[in-house]
Amino acid sequence: MLSVIQNPPRIALPIVGSSDLFPVRRVYCVGRNYAAHAREMGADPDREPPFFFMKPADALQIVGSEPTPHPYPSKTRNYHFEVEMVAALAGGGTDISAADVLDQVYGYAIGLDMTRRDVQDEAKALSRPWDTAKAADGSGPIGALHPASLVGHPARGEITLSVDGQTRQKGDLGDMIWSVAEQIAYLSGYFALQPGDLIFTGTPSGVGPVERGQRMVAAIAGLGAITLDVV
Ligand code: MN
């Protein structure tokens, strides 16, 4: 049987220390998972259970070890960076217990949940969905996957983002309100998680705008860094 159009390419992540690839299925993102960031967005970090939204897999931008051009999207004048650790699932299931869930994680990467903040603010005010704010083409820059067999399951360590050499976001993975295991367990109550799913695990405080011509460097202890030149 033939496809009536060319089959869309499957998005796949490179893997550190290997020529193999990790094919991506879905991309889940958790909101407001660091207390200081929840406060800067006007929310109360103590009362909210985790909430999730999604990016299309083909909104990811695969970033190698070299500085990579990152196109500034249309329809925004307030395009924000959010540095996040990304967990990649090799397994899945429904109603997984948090105690067992890390066995399902293949590895971790550095990601950016790039956001049209002005569009998001408008959507919030009008109680509309966030897709046009969060799912812009290229809005999920992501570096190579570091297998858990090499780096373990990072539970603490510095997570930073700098713009033109100036540190803008600085947090610690240990400051997540919901741990990676808790996020995955909670998410598995709503969706049948499957191999290839990614979870963007939230951003520390300090989110802000970036402009064309600026360089972003996102780094997580043990996972290296990715560099993006906004064009
Ligand atoms: Mn985010």
Environment class of residue 47 by beta-carbon count within 10 Å: exposed (0-12), middle (13-18) or buried (19+)?
A: exposed
Q: Which domain holds residue 73?
A: 12-230
The answer to whether residue 4 sits within a structural domain is no
The answer to whether residue 1 sits within a structural domain is no
Ligand 1 center from residue 108 Cα (angstroms): 16
Q: What is the largest CA-CA distance in the chain?
A: 54
Residue 55: C-alpha distances to residues 32, 84, 163, 221 (Å): 16, 14, 24, 25
The answer to whether residue 149 sits within a structural domain is yes
Question: In tens digits, what is the pLDDT along the chain, a chain of 231 residues?
Answer: 899 999 999 999 999 999 999 999 999 999 999 988 888 888 877 767 899 999 999 999 999 999 999 999 999 999 999 999 999 999 999 999 988 899 999 999 999 999 999 999 999 999 999 999 999 999 999 999 999 999 999 999 999 999 999 999 999 999 999 999 999 999 999 999 999 999 999 999 999 999 999 999 999 999 999 999 999
Alpha-carbon distance 37 to 43, whole Å?
Answer: 9
pTM: 0.96
Closest CA to 210 of 82, 111, 21: 82
The answer to whether residue 184 sits within a structural domain is yes
Q: Could you tell me whether strands 198-200 and 166-172 are parallel, antiparallel, or unpaired per DSSP bridges?
A: unpaired
The answer to whether residue 132 sits within a structural domain is yes
Which pLDDT belongs to residue 38?
Answer: 82
Which pLDDT belongs to residue 39?
Answer: 87
Ligand 1 center from residue 145 Cα (angstroms): 19
Task: Work out how many domains the chain is built from and give that number.
Answer: 1
Ligand 1 center from residue 122 Cα (angstroms): 17
